[in-house]
Amino acid sequence: MTFYSAKEYIPDTSNSPPTSLKLTGNTTIPFIEHKRDNTKQILKQGLVLCTRTEEWYTRKKSTMREVQLRKTRLRWRRFKAVLKPNRIELYHVTTILIRTERLAHVIYLNNQYPYRKVKLSLVSAQDYIWCLEFLHYETKCLISYHFQSSCISDAKDWYMAVYHILPSIMSCKIPIPPFVDIFVMIQKEQEQQFVVRLPLDSLIHDDNEDEDTQLNICALDIKPVIWSLLEKNGMLNMLQQTNMNDLRLCWRKVSSSVKYGEGAAATLKSSAISFHTPISGDQIEWVTKDTKLIGPELIEQVSKAISVYRNTMLIKHVSIIVSATFDGLLTQKSWSTGTTFSGKQTKCKRINYYAILYGHHLFFMDRSYYFICKRQRDEQERKRLRTESNKYANIETKKRNNNWFSATTGGLRQNQQNNTDISAKKKKEWQFINRSTPQLTPSSSSVALTSSPDPSILLNTRFLIDLNQVTRIQPMLQEGESNTFEVYFKNNHVLFYEAPNTQIMLEWVALINHQLKIDPIRLINHHNGFDTHQSRPEHVKDILQSGLLYVKQDFTESFQAQYCVLTKNRQNDGGLLMFNMVKSKNQWWCHLDLKDDNTQQREMVPMYDKQRQLVHLKDTFVYSGDECILDKLLYQAKSKEPARYYGDGSVTGGEKTSECVFVIWQIAKRHFVPNFREYLSLLKIGHRLGNRGSCWVFKARSKQERDEWVWALHKEFGILRL
């Protein structure tokens, strides 16, 4: 590993604030200057989630020499936060009758008598929960306020806004590091890399002299510096890159496998920026064009780094995934034998459903939604045809006005050829159908793959089939059941479904069998940091995450195993569907024979039954880790989680309880009377509680699964939107 130092920069000797960081080799990094307007009374305001913790010592009654620590923690409540030049004010907000705001808490930040110093810190680097901690000037209790925002950009803005208001002393905030190390990987196979040290003295110097002027650096402006150093040292040929724009940046945790040279041994405690291909299994946070270098990650030194990788290294990992989306009417059939006066008779029970094959799931809902979707689809088709006809009419009018048509030039033949051409997308769909259904000829096949369904329709799902539990699907060979096909599950269950005709039945069989051959992980649409090189199909874009989770609400004691599906709709909102995976046996005490395998009280069901759903996820807050343990929503195990074996072959265990849990906080939905009582409670002088909410606690099987769920929520719904 080669170590380069860019510490010998050319400072600006003028009295005016510097506008750029001048490095050796005629390379400069422009500064982003922001001047604070002291005439403004409100610097920032918005809705935040807040909890208050108070700690103090008391003497025991048994003896006066011993003291014990007492601690109280309020539940998370939603407030309206208003940041002013010298304090933060938290207000109650209600809109029951009229919009009413009442002051609940005040946190003074100017360190003036009689108030004590306030310390700013970052509690969670994953959820960006920040904390203000101080001693009460009267009771001498240690009070801390934890804040979290609805998106990551808002959380960073709150942190930096409070950071610039606090005095520049160690007891109030962590100073900006004097430099930052940039790690650049040249060759991934040989693990060859070099380090560039970028000085930040100009930013720190300016912060000490003029607190009203704030300087920062755009993270994307670092790429020209790296490119210039690579060109100066003749390493561009080793990078195998011809365009600087092909480099991409991302924050990620510094891997333990990164080895420092002797010259950089003293920089282990400093924040770092690394430019190399992400390591598999590490969480990655992509850097956008608005990302600033001076932020909570750099100040708090949360062991994160900015990585830049080459797009050419990802080309060999790209593969084409063809995922089918199909819908239609299906009738579920079940046979039962009953005794009547005429003897035993076999009855067939029929239930009509509207089924949607989407991703690796089969959604079932009421039949009425089929006609709703059909009307919407027909209306969209009419709009498309109307738009195309208007466009075609405009083109023909333009041709008649500008061109002279001659039959001898072959224009008529060219027009006929254009009408018979098939688009590349349609041709690919026909080739896919011909390969998956060889028994159907193109002349007789009427397969038409539908577009992605409206995610709001998926929220009305009653039952769901996870294709991971399906072993095979085939037509029913019994005489008189030519329109029926069979679905076989791993637990030896068999379900029967009848299509309107034989042609549609064969289409269902062919498409579902094709879906069974696709890895379900590759059908998850969200582009997380755990699997950055896999390509995602364009057909599946509204199912973000799905899988087994253990769910409970608030302070209930036990978890319930449920199959959860995270969806979003076109208004950047979404829902979390939760399905029951098991059901109780009616007469389980009859299976007490030791030779019988069915001795458990519950059994797995082939069709998951929807129990509840969470909607409007963009208005929720998500937090994880130790905050869940501090809320007493569940208890931390004395040791690590025990090993667990699951039916899909996965083995988990050896991790802390807090590493596998996350919580979704949503504003409580109550009737008029409780809301009116809360409205009246705002008039109370001693009332300091905010808007109440409901907590849904989710426990994943492992830390990686928890991180994938949290990342999907953060990335798609703006809960921690970049």
Range 565-582 burial, b when 16+ CB lie within 10 A, else e: bbbbbeeebbbbbbbbbb
User: Residue 638: pLDDT above 90?
Assistant: no
DSSP three-state, residue 209: helix
Q: Look at the block and give the residue holding tokens 């690919």.
A: 428
Written as six digits, the tokens of 57 are: 């010592």
Q: Which pLDDT score, from 0 to 100, does residue 591 have?
A: 46
Residues in the chain, overall count? 722
User: Residue 498: pLDDT above 80?
Assistant: yes
Torsion of CA 205, 206, 207, 209, to 10 degrees: 90
Weakest mean pLDDT among 250-264, 384-398, 467-481, 530-544: 250-264
When pLDDT is averaged across residues 564-575 and rounded to a whole number, the result is: 76
| Confidence category of residue 353, pLDDT binned at 50, 70, 90 | very high
Cα within 13 Å of Cα(143), Cβ side: 19
pLDDT, one tens digit per residue, over 436-467 is: 444 443 333 334 456 677 777 888 899 999 99
- 247 DSSP β-pair partners: 310
pLDDT, one tens digit per residue, over 291-329 is: 788 888 888 876 445 555 555 444 334 444 556 788 899
318-337+346-378+440-528 shares its CATH topology with 542-717: yes
Written as six digits, the tokens of 10 are: 């050319």
Q: Which pLDDT score, from 0 to 100, does residue 346 have?
A: 78
Q: Which pLDDT score, from 0 to 100, does residue 260 have?
A: 38
Average confidence score pLDDT of the chain: 72
Instruction: Calculate what percentage of the chain has a pLDDT beyond 90.
Output: 15
Task: Enumerate residues 6+ apart whose C-beta is below 8 A from 463.
Answer: 353, 363, 364, 579, 607, 608, 609, 610
Angle at 31 between CA 30 and CA 33, to 5 degrees: 145
- 494 DSSP β-pair partners: 488
| pLDDT: which is higher, 435 or 148 | 148
Distance CA 236, CA 227 (A): 8
Weakest mean pLDDT among 33-37, 192-196, 679-683: 679-683
C-alpha distances out from residue 675 to 65, 442, 554, 616, 692, Å: 48, 62, 19, 20, 10
User: Residue 366: pLDDT above 50?
Assistant: yes
User: Residue 209: pLDDT above 60?
Assistant: no
When pLDDT is averaged across residues 233-242 and rounded to a whole number, the result is: 68
Q: Please give the CATH number for the structural domain made up of 318-337+346-378+440-528.
A: 2.30.29.30
* CA 638 from centroid of its chain's CA atoms: 30
Written as six digits, the tokens of 202 are: 């100009």
Q: For 589, phi and psi rounded to 5 degrees?
A: -70, -10
The pTM assigned to this predicted structure is 0.77
User: Residue 239: pLDDT above 50?
Assistant: yes
pLDDT, one tens digit per residue, over 105-164 is: 899 998 888 888 999 999 887 788 999 999 988 888 899 999 998 888 888 899 999 998
Which stretch of DSSP H or E encloses residue 456? Answer: helix 455-458
Q: Which pLDDT score, from 0 to 100, does residue 417 have?
A: 41
When pLDDT is averaged across residues 328-353 and rounded to a whole number, the result is: 82
C-alpha distances out from residue 348 to 330, 337, 345, 483, Å: 15, 9, 10, 15
User: Residue 360: pLDDT above 90?
Assistant: no
Nearest C-alpha neighbor of 29 from the set 199, 183, 176, 175: 199
Weakest mean pLDDT among 45-59, 94-108, 455-469, 489-503: 94-108
**What fold, for 542-717?**
PH-domain like (2.30.29)
Maximum Cα interatomic distance, the chain, rounded to a whole number of Å: 114
When pLDDT is averaged across residues 693-721 and rounded to a whole number, the result is: 80
User: Residue 168: pLDDT above 60?
Assistant: yes
Torsion of CA 560, 458, 570, 517, to 10 degrees: 90
Residue ranges per structural domain of the chain: 182-317, 318-337+346-378+440-528, 542-717
| pLDDT: which is higher, 571 or 326 | 326
